Amino acid sequence: MTAGSTAKVGSTSVMRWVGTLLGLVLSAGLLSTILQDRSARLQAAQHQSAAIAQGVDRLLRYEIRNLERALNGMAAEADGFAADPSHWDLPETIRGVISRNGELQDIDVFGADGSLLHGGVNAPTAASAVLQPSLQTGQLGVGALLKQGRAQPVVQLVVRTPHGNWLVARLRTSELQSMLEDVDVGRDGGTAIMTPAGVVLSHQGASLDYADLPGGLAEQPPRLHAGADGDLLTSLASSSGYPFVVAAALSRNEAMKPWRNYSAFAVSLLVLYWFGMFYLMRRMAASEAVRHNVHVELQRHADWLGKAQEASRAGVWAMDTGRDQVRASAHAAELFGFPRAEGMLPLKEFFNRMHDADRPRVEQAFAQAWESGSPFRAEYRIMLPDGQQRWISARGAPVHDHDGVLRMTGTIMDITVRRLQQSDLERAESQFRELFERNPLPFWVFDIQSLRFLAVNAAAVRRYGYSREEFLAMTILQIRLPEQATAVQESVDDQAEPRDSQPIWLHMTRDGRRMHVRVYSSSIRFDGHDARLVLAEDVSDRVAYEADLKWRAAHEESTGLLHLRTLLERVDAAHRGAAPSSPYAIIHIQLRDLELMSSTFGRGTRDALIRSIARRLQRIAEGHGHLAYAPADAFVLAITQGENWNDLVDALGAAFTETIESVTGVHRLEGWIGVAFQQPEELAEQVAGHAVLAAFEARAQNLPTMHYSPRMAEHAADRLATVHRLRSALANAEFELFFQPIKRVRDGSIIVAEALLRWHTEDGYVSPATFIPLCEESGLIVPLGEWVIDAAARARQTLGAWGHDGIAIAINVSAVQFMSGTVSSMLRDAHLRYHLPRGALHVELTESAMLQRPEMAQATMEELRRDGVCVSIDDFGTGFSSMSYLRDLPLDHLKIDRSFVQNVHSDPRNASICNALVALGHGLGLSIVAEGVESPAEFEWLAAHGVDCVQGYYIARPMPLQAFIEWVEANAA
Ligand code: C2E
Ligand code: CA
Ligand code: CA
pLDDT 10s digits, 690-721: 999 898 888 877 788 889 999 888 888 888 88
Measured from the CA of 811, which atom of ligand 1 is nearest?
A: 41
The 10 Å Cβ neighbour count of residue 84 is 9
**DSSP states of 480-533 as a string?**
B-GGGHHHHHHHHH---SS-S---EEEEE-TTS-EEEEEEEEEEEEETTEEEEE
Identify the helix (H) or strand (E) that includes residue 200: strand 200-205
Q: What is the spatial distance between Cα 709 and Cα 698, in angstroms, rounded to a whole number?
A: 12
Pocket of ligand 1 (CB under 6 A): 740, 755-757, 767-769, 772, 788, 812, 814, 874-875, 898, 931-934, 952-953, 958
CA distances from 351 to 23, 363, 397 (A): 62, 8, 18
- Residues 31-39: contacts with CB within 8 Å, 24+ apart? 33/266, 34/259, 34/262, 34/263, 34/266, 34/267, 37/259, 37/262, 37/263, 38/256, 38/259, 38/263
Give the E-state strand segments of 647-771 in sequence order: 660-662, 665-667, 671-677, 705-707, 735-744, 750-761, 764-766
Cβ-based burial of 792 (10 A; exposed 0-12, middle 13-18, buried ≥19): buried
* Among the listed residues 575, 770, 761, the one whose alpha carbon sits nearest the alpha carbon of residue 683: 575
**Which residue has its alpha carbon closest to ligand 1 atom 29?**
769
Measured from the CA of 781, which atom of ligand 1 is nearest?
A: 44
CB neighbour list of residue 8: distance below 8 Å, 6 or more residues apart = 288, 291
CB neighbour list of residue 823: distance below 8 Å, 6 or more residues apart = 785, 789, 813, 817, 843, 860, 864
SS3 state of residue 803: coil
Q: How far is the CA of 813 from the centre of ligand 3 (A)?
A: 11
**Which residue has its alpha carbon closest to ligand 1 atom 7?**
932
**Which residue has its alpha carbon closest to ligand 1 atom 37?**
756
Q: What's the pLDDT at 183?
A: 80
Q: What's the pLDDT at 129?
A: 59
Q: What is the spatial distance between Cα 448 and Cα 73, in angstroms, rounded to a whole number?
A: 161
Q: What is the spatial distance between Cα 28 and Cα 33, in angstroms, rounded to a whole number?
A: 8
Q: What is the spatial distance between Cα 12 and Cα 292, in angstroms, rounded to a whole number?
A: 12
The interaxial angle of helices 645-657 and 603-621, nearest 10 deg, is: 160
* Among the listed residues 117, 125, 141, 347, the one whose alpha carbon sits nearest the alpha carbon of residue 242: 141
Vertex 714 angle, CA 713 and 718, to 5°: 115
pLDDT per position as a tens digit, 235-257 = 777 766 677 778 787 777 777 78
CB neighbour list of residue 198: distance below 8 Å, 6 or more residues apart = 209, 210, 213, 216, 217, 218, 245
* Among the listed residues 276, 292, 342, 279, the one whose alpha carbon sits nearest the alpha carbon of residue 315: 342
The DSSP bridge partners found for residue 736 are 758
Q: What is the spatial distance between Cα 528 and Cα 365, in angstroms, rounded to a whole number?
A: 35
Positions of the chain with pLDDT under 50 = 1-5, 211-212, 214-216, 218-229
CA atoms lying within 13 Å on the CB side of residue 313: 13
**DSSP states of 25-79 as a string?**
HHHHHHHHHHHHHHHHHHHHHHHHHHHHHHHHHHHHHHHHHHHHHHHHHHHHHHH
SS3 state of residue 682: coil
Measured from the CA of 953, which atom of ligand 1 is nearest?
A: 18
If one residue of 735, 812, 875 were mutated to test the ligand 1 pocket, choosing by the most ligand atoms within 8 A of its CB, it would be 812
Q: How far is the CA of 812 from the centre of ligand 2 (A)?
A: 5
The 10 Å Cβ neighbour count of residue 47 is 15
Query: What is the total residue count of the chain?
Result: 973
Q: How far is the CA of 596 from the centre of ligand 2 (A)?
A: 19
Using a cut of 0.75, tell me whether the model's pTM lies above it: no
**208-242 burial, b for 16+ CB within 10 Å, e for fewer?**
beeebbeeebeebeeebbebeeeebbbbbbbbeeb
Q: What is the spatial distance between Cα 955 and Cα 947, in angstroms, rounded to a whole number?
A: 15
**Which residue has its alpha carbon closest to ligand 1 atom 23?**
932
Q: Would residue 871 be called left, alpha or beta, if left means φ above 0 and alpha means ψ between -120 and 50 degrees?
A: beta
Query: In the chain, count of helices (H) and strands (E)?
Result: 30, 37
Ligand nearest to the CA of 772: 1
The DSSP bridge partners found for residue 196 are none
What is the maximum alpha-carbon separation in the chain?
263
Q: How far is the CA of 34 from the centre of ligand 3 (A)?
A: 172
Asked if 259 contacts 237 with a C-beta cutoff of 8 angstroms, the reply is: no
If one residue of 738, 739, 756 were mutated to test the ligand 1 pocket, choosing by the most ligand atoms within 8 A of its CB, it would be 756
As residues whose CB is below 5 A from the ion ligand 3, the structure lists 874-875, 931
Q: What's the pLDDT at 883?
A: 65
Q: What is the spatial distance between Cα 655 and Cα 670, in angstroms, rounded to a whole number?
A: 10
Asked if 596 contacts 847 with a C-beta cutoff of 8 angstroms, the reply is: yes
CA distances from 725 to 718, 734, 788 (A): 10, 10, 18
Which alpha helices (H) appear in 146-256, and where do they start and end?
A: 173-181, 252-255
**Which residue has its alpha carbon closest to ligand 1 atom 20?**
932
